Amino acid sequence: MTKDFDVVGVGLNATDTLLVVPHFPAYGGKVPFHQEILSPGGQVASAVVTCAKLGLRAKYIGTVGDDERGRVQMDSLLGSGVNLDDVQLRRGCANQSAYIIIDQSTGERTVFWSRPECLAIAPDQITDEMIACARLLHIDGHDTPAVEHAARIARKHGIPVTVDVDTIYPGFDRVLPYVDYLLASSEFPGRWTKDEDPFRALATIQKEYGMKVAAMTLGAHGALALYAGEYVYSPAFVVNCIDTTGAGDVFHGAFCYAVLQGMPMGEALDFSNAMAALNCTALGARGGVRSEAEARQLMGHVERRFHPEFVDKPRGR
């Protein structure tokens, strides 16, 4: 089948309300906010936008509400050059939304989100043709039966699958056998395996499900991956952090790009970390998505934040 797209993403989008505060208040306290911004985001949607901005032919598959937040999301995706042929507009349904409090003193964010049930996507709404037209599939875990179905289609057609997962979803054990690149949050491997040692947790997941790469993002400390029997640690880049919203989503989009470009694992993690760091220098989930050239400039000239736990313990399985 003709590969009309480099990347197809199946998963969440959201429209965020950002509130910038001088510092996050203590429980029961209150502070004035400096800015209120309506901003498009969402795990897979933002990753796909990152792919498009890096020059890939990208398509998004998901559901969008028909309210104002849904219109903001659609306008953003269209403006980024993402193909929306298989997006479902849900009539009378509000789009997924989030209220994100950004602590101006650190750039760290706190998220409150809501996704109406009317946005759920079913497996039978995803066909072989929607997936087989791509060179790579990127998914999250939210509508688990649907992303499992998409990943099964990808495996049948020899298409690699990357996954962004930050929490444990019921039935996600049926998705993992079809994943080639697991890129989990820092909490997921420990919760999944009930082993808080990140090295052992990644090794356990990789052994059980057989994925090519088992990796975890580490926020301000970079990323760790188990690949070809070795652990690869990529420390984060130090930047003037304005807002961490969407950093992980941009990391995932950049990693998809790196896989398709055939980058070695260390370079792929460094590149993804650089793209994530650059996104933190602007407000919004997609506010700082930059070019490959800008990421490579950062990779060559910026201080990095090493975590001793991962630097001092590089080891094979």
Please give the C-alpha separations between residue 221 and each of 47, 114, 180, 216, in angstroms, as whole numbers: 20, 29, 24, 11
In angstroms, the CA 76 to CA 39 distance is 9
Strand partners, 17: 38, 99
CA 304, 305, 308: angle at the middle one, nearest 5? 130
Q: Break the chain into its structural domains and give their ranges.
A: 5-12+44-62+124-311
Query: Around 28, how many Cα atoms within 13 Å sit in the side-chain half-sphere?
Result: 0
In angstroms, the CA 180 to CA 231 distance is 16
The answer to whether the beta carbons of residues 220 and 189 sit under 8 Å apart is no
Q: 111 in helix, strand or coil?
A: strand
Q: What is the pLDDT along the chain (317 residues), one digit of tens a residue?
A: 679 999 999 999 999 999 999 999 999 999 999 999 999 999 999 999 999 999 999 999 999 999 999 999 999 999 999 999 999 999 999 999 999 999 999 989 999 999 999 999 999 999 999 999 999 999 999 999 999 999 999 999 999 999 999 999 999 999 999 999 999 999 999 999 999 999 999 999 999 999 999 999 998 899 999 999 999 999 999 999 999 999 999 999 999 999 999 999 999 999 999 999 999 999 999 999 999 999 999 999 878 888 878 876 554 44
The total of other beta-carbon atoms located within 10 Å of residue 69's CB is 22
Strands 236-237 and 304-305: antiparallel
In angstroms, the CA 299 to CA 317 distance is 28
- Nearest CA to 181 out of 256, 275, 261, 253 is that of 256
CATH of 5-12+44-62+124-311, one of 3.30.420.280, 3.40.50.300, 3.50.50.60, 3.40.1190.20: 3.40.1190.20
